[in-house]
Amino acid sequence: MKKIHIIGLGLLGGSFALGLKKKRPDLILSGHDNNPDHVAQAKELGLITLHKERPDPDTDVVVLATPVDTLSDLVQQTLDGTGSKTLVMDFGSTKAEVCNKTAQHPKRQNYLAVHPIAGTEHSGPKAAFEQLLDGKVLIICEMEKTDVHLKAMAYELFEILNMKLRFMDPLEHDLHLAFVSHLSHATSFMLGRTVLEKMKDEKNIFDMAGSGFASTVRLSKSSPAMWAPIFLENKKNLIEAMDAYIHHMKQFRDKISTDDYTGLYKEMEEANKIREILDLEKRD
């Protein structure tokens, strides 16, 4: 393995590059981004050594880290433009659409569908950092459809980056991610929106916001260009999650409205169980 090409030089693509470069300075990292500023920044920050619009024919691995609505076409174009020894993988946050659209491609075995569970509320090449992927979970979908030798190359990269592999069906992936990731982005965006609307004339009020508000509203700073496509691509599952959530919010509101202390207490006791589960994760 010698040549890696990364398309999309933002937080995720850039952090992937930095993490690899640290452990394997011998690898040749090239890449491209549709935004010329991002290309310039990526070179300046050393995310890539070479800017190339397309991967060389002898590239070992092409990584696609662009917004999810671009990925289905980009996976197919990249498979069309590279040889039989090149592995193409995408880092998208939804997996059903891209797996489905790529299913019939003659070079399906050259494609690996993955999703690194890592990110921050920041975006762009400047947001990238070496440790983003370190110790994080990486979900792989339909691993049985990828050529075993090409897959071994991908596993080597994930091993270098110290990632924990998990295997999952793409439909199951999208359903679960709607609940444990996409929903919390929606709730946070709308928390930010609601509070800003109310406080628009008195911004000094945020002085009164503590670390709890900062934590809950953090994802409200996330990139619309990244998240609008995710929300739309995972529409069916996300709407199920949002409807369940809005229902719970309404019930909680009504319990407050009717002074139902016991009911509120029980709801919060149920919600407290998240503590055991998240603390369990920490031990992993």
Q: Which of residues 182-221 bind a second copy (CB under 8 A)?
A: 183-199, 203, 205-221
Beta strands 3-7 and 61-64, pairing class: parallel
236-275: which residues touch a second copy (CB under 8 A)?
238-239, 241-246, 248-250, 252-253, 256-257, 259, 261, 264-265, 267-275
- The type of residue at 100 is N
Report the distance separating Cα 13 and Cα 221, nearest Å. 19
Q: Does 181 bind a second copy (CB under 8 A)?
A: yes
**Residues that contact a second copy, how many (by CB under 8 A):** 92
Contact residue for a second copy among 139, 140, 141, 163 (CB under 8 A): 139
Contact residue for a second copy among 82, 121, 149, 162 (CB under 8 A): 121
- Which residues of 93-218 form beta strands (DSSP E)? 111-116, 137-141, 164-168
**Beta carbons of 42 and 207 less than 8 angstroms apart:** no
Shorter beta-carbon distance to a second copy: residue 60 or 174: 174
Residues in the chain: 284
Q: Does 40 bind a second copy (CB under 8 A)?
A: no
CA proximity to 63, closest of 123, 105, 122, 12: 12
CA proximity to 237, closest of 177, 189, 184: 177
149-178: which residues touch a second copy (CB under 8 A)?
166, 173, 176-177
Shorter beta-carbon distance to a second copy: residue 49 or 194: 194
Query: Of 3-11, 18-26, 50-58, 227-235, which part binds a second copy (CB under 8 A)?
Result: 227-235
Helix, coil or strand: residue 260 = coil
Torsion sign across C-alpha atoms 48, 87, 7, 68: negative
Q: Does 51 bind a second copy (CB under 8 A)?
A: no
Shorter beta-carbon distance to a second copy: residue 84 or 272: 272
Closest distance of CB 192 from a second copy, Å: 4
Report the distance separating Cα 63 and Cα 4, nearest Å. 8
Report the distance separating Cα 266 and Cα 140, nearest Å. 38
Closest distance of CB 99 from a second copy, Å: 17
